[in-house]
Every structure is written in structure tokens, then in C-alpha cells.
């Protein structure tokens, strides 16, 4: 197998993990990045959500520790906050708080710039990896029959230089949702992948605040009970003794950017936790907003023709409703799947077929979780998954059962963190507990209704004459 040189387009989390993994398999790895970097954790233009709250699911954290030993310890040393996800989350959902318990898996809370900066430092320290910044990739270079990609054409940004060419045995597109691959495929005579779009019109606003030493290190989540509620708020402790809070909603119920409107939005969330913390807190940043119109999935696994020597990974394959925090972990899992395949492959020829199938399998789980949940709102537009109404009705019962049942809550956390598929919530031991909780609540509600409305009780049956 010819594995001399690989080009990774984009130094997103997907691009950086891909570069790390492929550095074990190729003599040289070149990452081409549109932005420039400083030697500090800073947001950049190429990551439009970079200044907003991000979640690293436990699966993603464990994989980062695998590829970068003691990675989470390094984050904590820089001020990130670590803790058991079952114990540190103060999570209000559907009329109550999920119970706290020892789940046994650690989560890490930090800003997006810190995690990306820390990953980038690790990748840049790998001897056979080179990152070239401030470049635009303009086109793919292919063989005369367009059957194989053999490199890319790029140009330096803000410099009036002629385009440059760089050859490679493999090129991987990690440029995110705005990927140009579909356009490049059509130019080479290939069909572009089918797209699945689910319109949700999510918008949220974010601000950071000073965190006082006396404040408890908790993760505060207030999430909506669909379809009657659309607003959510999430507040995490991050490095620099700061809180970061993002608040917003689906279907146009977005959070204002002015300080008074921002605080009023917090006050009108279904639970008071975030408002109580923010009302006396010192803001450290401007309020910034972000809008996300739709979940978007590109079905590369359905293609029957594709150029050799080329792959697509990360948000360029699928980008999810960001309120579920699945994006970084999904990209890391796709890169991990590529590692397994390329370790066993005898040739790069045909690698795209098993890789896109593996990537689709990775994406299926978070896509099903995100899209099915979004379709709890009748106004959401797109291809509705089969059985979505039934699943959402059941999952609503799971949410309520997690208020007081650690077995149900543990099953939900495993699913949310992509350790287990959504079907795991229907395992007999979980199903029994969920239905038992529902029956108990239903019976309690009937008793309360009877006590409060004695006039509605049926009258005694009179004997017939």
C-alpha cells in the first residue's frame, strides 16, 4: 500500500483527530487550514459556534484520552472542570429534576477554544504532521479519467500568488457543514450524495460570567418538555473561573442579545436555577448569538461511484441540532472508525466503501436521537422517522422516570453519551421501570384529582325497585 502522504482539509476537531490517527499510517500528514492560529485558546472565524457553549460527551472524552494519553487531565490542569456526569448535573426536565447518582463516567466542562487548542498542540507536536494555515483549497486534482484524487490545488489567502498544487495518496475533507465536496464531485462527473434536511430553526445566545469561589461547581441544564415548551438554558463552569451560559429555543423562540432581554429570558425558563445565578453575576463578555436552521445529513454511504483516494468526515457528513452536544463526539468516533479500517486495509483502493458505511453507522445513533426528538414538535419540517411519535411518547416517560430511578437515568445517560443505541431504552429492565413509574404517577394523579374534586366521584348505585 502506498501511504507516503495524506492531506487533511480543515483543522476542525474532525480534521485534527484525523491527522492524529493517520500519522500512525502515513509517512507525512499535511493539514490545510483556512484560518490562522495564535499560541493561545482563542475562537476563530472558521468555527462559527466557537464562542458558544460546547459539550464533550463521555464517549468523545474517552477516545481523546486513548489517542492523546491523559488528555482530560491536561484540560483540567488548564482550568477545565471534571466530575461524574450523574452527580454534577443539575438537570431540570419535564416538571422536575433528574436525580443525582454516581454514574461512574467522568465529564469535562471547558470552552471550545480550550479543547481545540489543546488537541492542536498535541497534533502539532507529532513529527510527521504539518499544518499550513491561511490557505483556501480551490479544487481537487485527479487523474485524467477522474477516477482517483491525487492531490489538491490551493492558494494563500490575502496574498496575490498563483495557485499551488500538492500531491497526496489520500485526501480527507474535514471542512464541516459548508464542505465543497458535492460541487467537486459534480465537476468530476460523479453524483453528489442525497441530503436529508430537518428544519428546526434553532437560535441561541451566549455570555460568560465571573465564577466566584463560593459557588458550587455544577452543570445546570434546563431543557424543554416538547411540544409545549421550546426554550432551554445550559450553564457550565469553564476554565478561567468563568461560567458560560447559552440560552435559546427551537422554531424561532430565540434568546435576545441585549442584557435586559437576556436576563428576562433566563427568568422565564421553566426552572429558576440559571436566572438565580445570573441576576447578580458579573458579565465578562458581550452577548453573541448563533442560528442553526436545520439538521443536515449527506448520505455518502448510498453512492455507488466515488473517486479513489478521497474521503469525507465529520460535519461534512452530518451536522446535528447543536443543543444535543453530539457534533464533536460524532466526528471523533468517525475518525476512530477510519483508524480501524485503515489498520486492516491492504490497499487504499476501495476504502471509501467500508468507510462511508462505518461513518453512517456512527452517525445513525446521534441522528436518530436528534431528529426523532426534534419531531416532537409538529412544526418541524423534513422526513419524519418511522415511529417517531411512539418513541417520543415513550422517551417522555423515560425523562420523568429519571427524576427518581437511577437505573432509568443511567440507561438514558448511556444513550445520550453514545455508549448505547436508542433501542437500549427498551430493554426489559428499563421498560419495566419506566412503565411502573408512569403507572404510579398516573394513579397518584387520579387520587389527587379525586381528592380535589369530590363532586366528580360517581354516586352510589341505587337498587332497582
Q: How many domains does the chain have?
A: 2
Q: What pLDDT does 279 receive? A: 96
Does 224 fall in a domain? no
CA 131 to CA 121: how far, in whole Å? 11
Q: What pLDDT does 267 receive? A: 98
Q: What pLDDT does 459 receive? A: 42
Measured from the Cβ of residue 29, the count of other Cβ atoms closer than 10 Å reads 26
The segments of the chain whose pLDDT lies below 70 read 1, 48, 445-451, 453-465
Q: What pLDDT does 449 receive? A: 66
Q: What pLDDT does 454 receive? A: 62
Q: Are residues 327 and 400 in the same domain?
A: no
Does 204 fall in a domain? no
State whether residue 54 is helix, strand or coil: coil
Q: Are residues 126 and 190 in the same domain?
A: yes
Q: What pLDDT does 456 receive? A: 53
- For residues 97 and 402, is the Cβ–Cβ distance under 8 A? no
* Cβ-proximal residues to 9 (8 Å cutoff; 6+ apart), any chain: 15, 31, 32, 137, 152, 171, 172, 173, 174, 175
Q: Which of 283, 285, 220 is nearest to 81 (CA)?
A: 220
Q: Give the end of a domain, one of 317, 336, 370.
A: 370
Q: What pLDDT does 460 receive? A: 41
Does 337 fall in a domain? yes
Q: What pLDDT does 74 receive? A: 97
Q: Give the end of a domain, one of 315, 342, 370.
A: 370
* Cβ-proximal residues to 379 (8 Å cutoff; 6+ apart), any chain: 251
Q: What pLDDT does 462 receive? A: 41
Q: Are residues 31 and 123 in the same domain?
A: yes
**Per residue in 169-228, pLDDT tens?**
999 999 999 999 999 999 999 999 999 999 999 999 999 999 999 999 999 999 999 999
Q: Give the DSSP per-residue string, 90-101.
A: EEEETTEEPPP-
**Per residue in 91-149, pLDDT tens?**
999 999 999 999 999 999 999 999 999 999 999 999 999 999 999 999 999 999 999 99
Q: Are residues 408 and 358 in the same domain?
A: no
Q: Are residues 394 and 357 in the same domain?
A: no
Does 400 fall in a domain? yes
Domain around 150? 5-46+113-196+295-370
Q: Are residues 414 and 344 in the same domain?
A: no
Amino acid at each position: 500500500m502506498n501511504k507516503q502522504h495524506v492531506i487533511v482539509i480543515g483543522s476542525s476537531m474532525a480534521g485534527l483527530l484525523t491527522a492524529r490517527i493517520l500519522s500512525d499510517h502515513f509517512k507525512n500528514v499535511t493539514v490545510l487550514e483556512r484560518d490562522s492560529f495564535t499560541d493561545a485558546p482563542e475562537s476563530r472565524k472558521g468555527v462559527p459556534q466557537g464562542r458558544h457553549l460546547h459539550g464533550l460527551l463521555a464517549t468523545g472524552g474517552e477516545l481523546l484520552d486513548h489517542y492523546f494519553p491523559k488528555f482530560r487531565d491536561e484540560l483540567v490542569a488548564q482550568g477545565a472542570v471534571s466530575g461524574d456526569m450523574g452527580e454534577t448535573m443539575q438537570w431540570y426536565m419535564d416538571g422536575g429534576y433528574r436525580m443525582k447518582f454516581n454514574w461512574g463516567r467522568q465529564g469535562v466542562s471547558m470552552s471550545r477554544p480550550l479543547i481545540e487548542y489543546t488537541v492542536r498542540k498535541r497534533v502539532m507536536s507529532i513529527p510527521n504532521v504539518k499544518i499550513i494555515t491561511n490557505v483556501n483549497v480551490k479544487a481537487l486534482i485527479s487523474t485524467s479519467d477522474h477516477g482517483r484524487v491525487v492531490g489538491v490545488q490551493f492558494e494563500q489567502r490575502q496574498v496575490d500568488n498563483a495557485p499551488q498544487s500538492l500531491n497526496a495518496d489520500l485526501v480527507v475533507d474535514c471542512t464541516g457543514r459548508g464542505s465543497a465536496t458535492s460541487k467537486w464531485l459534480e465537476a468530476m462527473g460523479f453524483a453528489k450524495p442525497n441530503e436529508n434536511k430537518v428544519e428546526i430553526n434553532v437560535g441561541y445566545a451566549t455570555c460568560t460570567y465571573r465564577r466566584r469561589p463560593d459557588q458550587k461547581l455544577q452543570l445546570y441544564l434546563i431543557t424543554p418538555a416538547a411540544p409545549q415548551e421550546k426554550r432551554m438554558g445550559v450553564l457550565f463552569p469553564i476554565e478561567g473561573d468563568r461560567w458560560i451560559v447559552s440560552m435559546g429555543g427551537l422554531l424561532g423562540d430565540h434568546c435576545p442579545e441585549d442584557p435586559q432581554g437576556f436576563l428576562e429570558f433566563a427568568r422565564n425558563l421553566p426552572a429558576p436555577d440559571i436566572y438565580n445565578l445570573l441576576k447578580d453575576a458579573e458579565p465578562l463578555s458581550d452577548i453573541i448569538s448563533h442560528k442553526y436552521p436545520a439538521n443536515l445529513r449527506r448520505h455518502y454511504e448510498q453512492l455507488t461511484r466515488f473517486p479513489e483516494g478521497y474521503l469525507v468526515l465529520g460535519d461534512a457528513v452530518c451536522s446535528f441540532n447543536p443543543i444535543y452536544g453530539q457534533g464533536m463526539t460524532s466526528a471523533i468516533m468517525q475518525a476512530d472508525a477510519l483508524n480501524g479500517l485503515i489498520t486492516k486495509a491492504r490497499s487504499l483502493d476501495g476504502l471509501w466503501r467500508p468507510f462511508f458505511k462505518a461513518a453512517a453507522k456512527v452517525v445513525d445513533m446521534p441522528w436518530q436521537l436528534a431528529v426523532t426528538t426534534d419531531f416532537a414538535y409538529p412544526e418541524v419540517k423534513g422526513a419524519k422517522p418511522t415511529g417517531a411519535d411512539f418513541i417520543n411518547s415513550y422517551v417522555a416517560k423515560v425523562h420523568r422516570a429519571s427524576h427518581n430511578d437511577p437505573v432509568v437515568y443511567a440507561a438514558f445517560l448511556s444513550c445520550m453519551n453514545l455508549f448505547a443505541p436508542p433501542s437500549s431504552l427498551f430493554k426489559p429492565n428499563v421498560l419495566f421501570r419506566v412503565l411502573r413509574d408512569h403507572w404510579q404517577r398516573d394513579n397518584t394523579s387520579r387520587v389527587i384529582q379525586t381528592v380535589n374534586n369530590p363532586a366528580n366521584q360517581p354516586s352510589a348505585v341505587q337498587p332497582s325497585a
